[in-house]
Amino acid sequence: MKIALTGIKPSGPPHLGNYLGMIRPALGLAAQYRCLYFIADYHALTTLHDGAALRQHTRALAATWLALGLNADEALLYRQSDVPEIPELSWILSCFTSKGMLDRAHAYKDAVAQNREVSVGVYTYPVLMAADILAFGAQVVPVGRDQKQHVEICRDIAQRFNHVYGELLTVPEAVIQEEVETIPGLDGRKMSKSYDNTLPLFLDSGRLRKLVMRIATDSTPVEAPKDPEAAPVFLLYRHLVGREAAAGLAEKLRAGGTGWAAAKQALFEALETVLGEARTRYEQWMADGSALEAVLQRGAERARDLAAPRMDAIRRAVGAR
């Protein structure tokens, strides 16, 4: 069975866009692949310089994956910083990474274009990501379009290394998740922490309802026909329940006589149905810090066991043993 690897940065509380755009499709891979899911806390350190917050987001993210159905007996769930082989490999790989290639990385170029101060960590982010992948011989890396370049950089690094030392590293394939569209936020722009327009995943019903009622709508009167496709409330509903199940609501909105308030109510109820039980499990995991830590520690042990033989071969090849 091929290995698929998925990481997510614990840079804030997970929201519905993370779930629909990434977590749900990634959990679906478990039927086809041996899955490695990791919490990329060292990647998050490029932007988050608050130890307590990073620790808290990491725990919340682990609890989120588990609550949403990650089976930690089959798949591996681990925290990046618990696997020291990853930063070790990152250094080795950096010696096979052309600086010109990192100069062309989108995230770095964007940061420079916006005149943001760029740390070396932001600059070498793609090398750490290559180590995340190559340490485990992952063959498949499911990514959104924005991450494709990072996998190409990883492939290039692996090929340069292999050119010198033989085929020690598995050159991964990016699987672009075309079907995952951008999930809109409360204001209709992409749901994102940086726009402050998110629906956090496990809010209590009262706060969730309030946020859903805040979703931007136009002022079309109840009786008038409406265009569901142009309304974030409908798009969120459709992403959540699927096209077929959403057809009824689309029809009603187009026909007129159904107001946006009814659409919001439908979305709220769907969120409660789809995520209600997961919220209870999330709260249970968050209340039992030692159980959560035990899952992460077991995941890290298994990840290290998986990385060990390859790392040993790599160290020997470069002459470090």
Between 122 and 168, whose beta carbon lies closer to ligand AMP? 122
What is the number of the residue whose Cβ is closest to ligand AMP?
21
CA-CA distance, 20 to 268, in Å (whole number)? 16
CA-CA distance, 248 to 198, in Å (whole number)? 26
CB of 310 to ligand AMP, least distance (A): 26
CB of 274 to ligand AMP, least distance (A): 16
CA-CA distance, 276 to 279, in Å (whole number)? 5
Which residues touch 152 (CB under 8 Å, ≥6 apart)? 174
CB of 250 to ligand AMP, least distance (A): 20
CB of 17 to ligand AMP, least distance (A): 3
Between 92 and 246, whose beta carbon lies closer to ligand AMP? 246
Between 39 and 263, whose beta carbon lies closer to ligand AMP? 39
Structure tokens at 193: 């922490």
Q: For residue 84, count other CB atoms closer than 10 A to its CB.
A: 12
Between 15 and 310, whose beta carbon lies closer to ligand AMP? 15
CB of 319 to ligand AMP, least distance (A): 37
Between 46 and 258, whose beta carbon lies closer to ligand AMP? 46
Q: How far is CA 277 from the centre of its chain?
A: 21
Between 20 and 83, whose beta carbon lies closer to ligand AMP? 20
Binding footprint of ligand AMP on the chain (CB under 6 A): 8-9, 11, 17-18, 21-22, 144, 182-183, 190-192
CB of 59 to ligand AMP, least distance (A): 16
DSSP-assigned beta bridge partners for residue 198: none
CA-CA distance, 153 to 126, in Å (whole number)? 7
CA-CA distance, 174 to 152, in Å (whole number)? 8
CA-CA distance, 239 to 181, in Å (whole number)? 9
Q: How many residues does the chain have?
A: 321
